[in-house]
Amino acid sequence: MRIHHLPGTDLSISDIGLGTMTFGEQTGKACAHTQLDYALAEGITLFDMAEMYPVPGRAETQGATEAIVGEWLARQPRDRVVIATKVAGPSRGFTWIRGGPLALDLANMRAALEASLRRLKTDYVDLYQIHWPSRPLPIFGATEYDEQDTRDAAAEIEEQLHALATLVREGKVRHIGLSNETPWGAMRFLEASERLGLPRIVTIQNAYNLLNRSFESGLSEVCHRERLGLLAYSPLAFGLLTGKYLTHSDPEARLNRFPQFGPRYRKPAIEPALEAYAHIAETFGLPLGALALGFVRSRFFTASTLLGARTLEQLKEDIDHAKVVLPPEALAAIDEIHLRSPNPAP
């Protein structure tokens, strides 16, 4: 485990983080607290959640993840951990969150944050992120941009940045970040913060794994030139990159239990790519999960690789695998597969 300084902040974070979106749905409170204890003992200091969690989003469980983490956090020295959470935006159909949510304006962001703080039993979060852009975009498995959107998205971004700046000034947020964002959106936030003298985004949390390297096409340069860090979520592509869907069918596994995620992770080109990466892993004497996590952790733009697990046993295995350092020959073999089968699960 490496602890490093996040550029542009006073935060020191672990380069492996714990994602929590299973807590309250696939993972009960007792197991979640055991996972949190184990992660902290292993040196993980970054814990990421969201107001809409757990996943899949439902009115009956919304907020349960933060509440579970909050009970645990109340027993920890607050300055020992970095707590990140997210505000849900419009356009995803979650009508049970703040009645919409209707907008990413100050009123909605303040309401969202204050509810998160109550659930988390803390008076501030270290990193507050916009979970997805308010403008319609091809994310979560979609691939085609709709050019019919004519709203002034730049003005929306300025309003969102002003709202986030207010929460920072109030002391409820230390730093701000984005999630599921594009190069255009990230640069608009950066430009607006410089022009208006407002807080600067410091992280981007996007999906990144062997089956989805679309981050490299534009956002990797943004990270390099603007000194931003990627919080890489889904580094195992919903468990596909453990290899378990190639060898057995666990009814409790996420893609079996929740078929609604199939359109993103059951595409025809995925299985051949998985088999090719599994062959590389075998060649180098590694589990497939170690190849996948070692790759994500090796990238220059990855500030932290976010692990998420249903059980403590899965988390232990994932942490062990994430510590593997891949040799250059393995990275070269990965790139050969990527050239033949680029981004089968965007």
Q: What is the pLDDT at residue 1?
A: 82
The whole-angstrom separation of Cα 251 and Cα 35 is: 22
- 91 has pLDDT over 80: no
CATH code: domain 3-237+292-330 is 3.20.20.100
Q: Band the pLDDT of 96: cuts 50, 70, 90.
A: very high
The C-alpha R_g of the chain, in whole angstroms, comes to 19
Spans of all domains in the chain: 3-237+292-330
Taken in order 68, 255, 15, 230, the sign of the CA dihedral is: negative
pLDDT (average), residues 59-64? 97
Q: Are 26 and 257 in contact (CB under 8 A)?
A: yes
- 264 has pLDDT over 90: no
Other CB atoms within a 10 A radius of the CB of residue 216 amount to 15
The whole-angstrom separation of Cα 148 and Cα 56 is: 29
- 289 has pLDDT over 90: yes
pLDDT (average), residues 313-318? 98
Which of 34-43, 130-139, 167-176 is the least confident region? 130-139
Per-residue pLDDT of 66-85, as tens digits, reads: 999 999 999 999 999 999 99
Closest CA to 210 of 318, 341, 55, 300: 341
Which residues belong to the active site?
A: 53
Tell me the pLDDT of the chain averaged across its residues. 94
DSSP string computed for 174-187:
EEEEEES--HHHHH
Which of 49-58, 142-151, 298-307 is the least confident region? 142-151
> Taking each helix axis from N to C terminus, what angle separates 29-41 and 312-322, rounded to the nearest 10 degrees?
30
